[in-house]
Amino acid sequence: MKYIKEFFRNDHPFVPFKEFGFIHCLCISLVVIVLIIIYLNRNKISSLNEKTKQIILKSAAILMLINMIIYNIVPHLFGYFDYKIHLPFQLCFISGYMFMYGILFNKEWILKFTLFLSFIGPIPAILWPDMPSTFDDFNFWKYFISHHIFICASFFSYFALNYRITIKDIIKAFILTNCLVLIMMPFNYLFNMNYIYSSEIPANIRNLYPFIEHFPPFLTIEVTGLIIAILLYQLIRKRNKELDLIALEEAKKNQPKTKVKPRKKKKN
């Protein structure tokens, strides 16, 4: 029990986390490699049988669900819960809850929002995490599952389920993200929290980029999210064209063939 408690509390970090050190760079590289593999094999993923798709997606969603249950319960069991640190409604977690709901209950409409949120939230967290330790700390694994695995699973779902994202969906995702930030701001002010980093940009990021201190946190988040969304939209535009071509080819295949009647020979 002592070792289990230490794994969750991590009072004595054994394998320290170093920003842009070997372990951090390895985690970033793994995500990039998996995303590239998914993209290059997008048509193969799209043509997988439904059972295989559901097994992969539901396994990812269940793993994420177990991860969040442990994250929200264990701090209370071992007495290290701090409402200013353990924030179950960070943007990455909210988008993770939406993804789990969409996959486990087959709600495709919500996945259209999740695709954007799964990049806007996790990418900054993957690039600039703030953690004391790595393999010996539950928080490292929680972070890896809720960011690295989540972004890959969401990207996989986009091609596996072949859902089309339109401009309207993008606008709705943008409005939803900003509404979440605005909702969290009063909680940050009243209870001295830092949900969605709208009160203060983490110190490790400010140390890397001191100029950020001259800009309001809300503006920094807005610009970062907008850049990620614009880059992702380029991929979506290309995929929509591919889906149009696939639909056209399918329509041609399913089109009934008309038999040409042979001409009758004229009698002399």
pLDDT at residue 89, rounded to an integer: 84
DSSP for 207-222, please give it: HH-GGGGGS-HHHHHH
**Residue in the block written with tokens 């330790």:** 133
Map out the domains of the chain as residue ranges: 2-79+94-247
- Give tens-digit pLDDT for 231-267: 999 999 999 999 888 888 877 777 766 555 556 555 5
According to the model, what pLDDT value does residue 195 have? 84
Name the 3-class secondary structure at 69: helix
DSSP assignment letter at 196: G
Q: What pLDDT was estimated at residue 262?
A: 59
Q: Which of 61, 67, 54 is nearest to 8 (CA)?
A: 67
Length, in residues, of the chain: 268
Helix intervals (H) in 10-149 = 22-40, 42-46, 50-77, 91-104, 108-120, 122-127, 138-143
Instruction: Tell me the whole-structure pTM to 2 decimals.
Output: 0.87
pLDDT at 155: 97
For the chain, which residues score pLDDT lower than 50? none
Nearest Cα to Cα of residue 162 among 212, 114, 112: 112
Reference 11, options 135, 136, 112; nearest CA is 136
d(CA 153, CA 60): 7
Give the pLDDT score at 70.
95
Residue 202, burial from CB neighbour count under 10 angstroms (0-12, 13-18, 19+): middle
Quick one: pLDDT at residue 139?
Answer: 92
